[in-house]
């Protein structure tokens, strides 16, 4: 059975508008995710996951985001948390990762404090942007440890159960509205010692080549793939919209809109092709024990986001008044694209993107 198929596309898009209004995924969509284990693409098979090679997972992230931005964002974020299987105590992994509704929401920002006790740790703190907080089966957050021994001041992550976390429903972004990326609060939660972990210290009781892949290109590729999928959806929906306007728009206007679409989409698709090509070659090198170039994927991720957003923004002004309405599908896709591409890993902070001597 294909994991991403027409039935999944139709089901998710059927609920897309309601999910945006409600600010979270519909239970029918969540059940579809659980059935296909889409939150477990980097979780070992032995604990109920469906471990997936990196390039294949990137395609899944793109395809789910093509269906719907919030849906794809949460699939990508949820699967990325599978990495914790190799840094958490194996007892905790067995307890927490094998459930059907497995999903980790949380933050790596060191905004909490953990006080060591005889029974574990007392955790306090607040962390913003915990995507998927409304349906999380587990929360993780980074804290600074307070103790009377050599651990004092160390940064460590902690896993906490939903009944230990208060979700503040403050995600009011203009895009990716159904991701429920809220702030989470923890007050005096007692966390067992084996729920503490260090993301920089893998134990490899559960091992796979993906766990050894360089983190920055891995993370950049994941976010970029989501942005690519949303952009593909935007260009396809824009083409259908322009075709519908052929008889109602003046010929010159329609011809120009088609040209802007063709030019913008072509530049984006070329960048997308280069992105996937480098992902494939990088993964092949990694499997052969050759360290991949750690800069190529982060740079290409920014380049493809540049063409996705730039092309969509240029085209949007030629789509007419219909698409300025918040409930128009193209309006939602456009807002999702701008929101996903705002991630720091896709933002050019130098003013010049360059790869192989070519500037963008």
Please list the rounded mean pLDDT of every run of 10 residues in the chain (360 residues).
80 96 97 96 95 97 98 97 94 95 95 94 97 98 83 88 98 97 98 94 91 92 98 98 96 97 98 96 93 85 96 97 95 98 87 60
Q: Does domain 6-86 have CATH number 1.10.540.10?
A: yes
Q: The domain 213-359 is classified under which CATH number: 3.90.1150.60, 1.10.287.1770, 1.20.140.10, 1.20.58.100?
A: 1.20.140.10
Position 349 scores a pLDDT of 67
Sequence spans of domains, the chain:
6-86, 104-197, 213-359
CATH number of 104-197: 2.40.110.10
Buried b / exposed e over 168-206, threshold 16 CB at 10 Å, is eeebeeebbbbbbbbbbebeebebeeebbbebeebeeeb
Position 200 scores a pLDDT of 87
């Amino acid at each position: 059975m294909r994991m991403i198929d027409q039935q999944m596309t139709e089901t998710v898009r059927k609920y897309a508008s309601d999910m945006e209004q409600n600010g979270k995924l519909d239970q029918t969509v969540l059940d579809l995710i659980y059935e296909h284990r889409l939150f477990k693409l980097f979780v070992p098979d032995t604990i109920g996951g469906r471990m997936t090679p990196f390039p294949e997972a990137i395609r899944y992230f793109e395809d789910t985001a093509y269906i719907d931005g919030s849906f794809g964002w949460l699939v990508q974020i949820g699967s990325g948390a599978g990495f914790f299987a190799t840094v958490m105590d194996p007892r905790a992994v067995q307890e927490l990762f094998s459930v059907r509704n497995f999903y980790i929401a949380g933050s790596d920002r060191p905004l909490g404090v953990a006080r060591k006790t005889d029974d574990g740790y007392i955790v306090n703190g607040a962390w913003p942007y915990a995507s998927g907080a409304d349906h999380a089966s587990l929360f993780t957050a980074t804290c600074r440890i307070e103790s009377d021994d050599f651990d004092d001041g160390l940064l460590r992550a902690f896993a906490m159960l939903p009944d230990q976390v208060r979700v503040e429903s403050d995600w009011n972004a203009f895009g990716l509205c159904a991701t429920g990326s809220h702030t989470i609060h923890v007050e005096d939660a007692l966390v067992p010692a084996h729920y503490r972990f260090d993301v920089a210290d893998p134990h490899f009781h559960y091992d796979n080549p993906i766990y050894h892949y360089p983190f920055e290109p891995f993370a950049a590729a994941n976010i970029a793939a989501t942005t690519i999928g949303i952009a593909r959806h935007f260009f396809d929906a824009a083409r259908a919209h322009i075709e519908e306007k052929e008889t109602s728009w003046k010929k010159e206007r329609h011809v120009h809109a088609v040209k802007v679409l063709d030019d913008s989409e072509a530049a984006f698709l070329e960048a997308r092709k280069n992105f996937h090509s480098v992902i494939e070659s990088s993964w092949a090198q990694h499997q052969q024990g050759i360290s991949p170039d750690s800069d190529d994927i982060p740079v290409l991720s920014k380049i493809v986001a540049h063409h996705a957003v730039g092309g969509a923004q240029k085209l949007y002004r030629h789509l007419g008044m219909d698409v300025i309405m918040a409930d128009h599908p193209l309006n939602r896709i456009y807002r999702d694209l701008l929101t996903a591409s705002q991630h720091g890993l896709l933002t050019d902070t130098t003013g010049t993107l360059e790869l192989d001597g070519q500037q963008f």
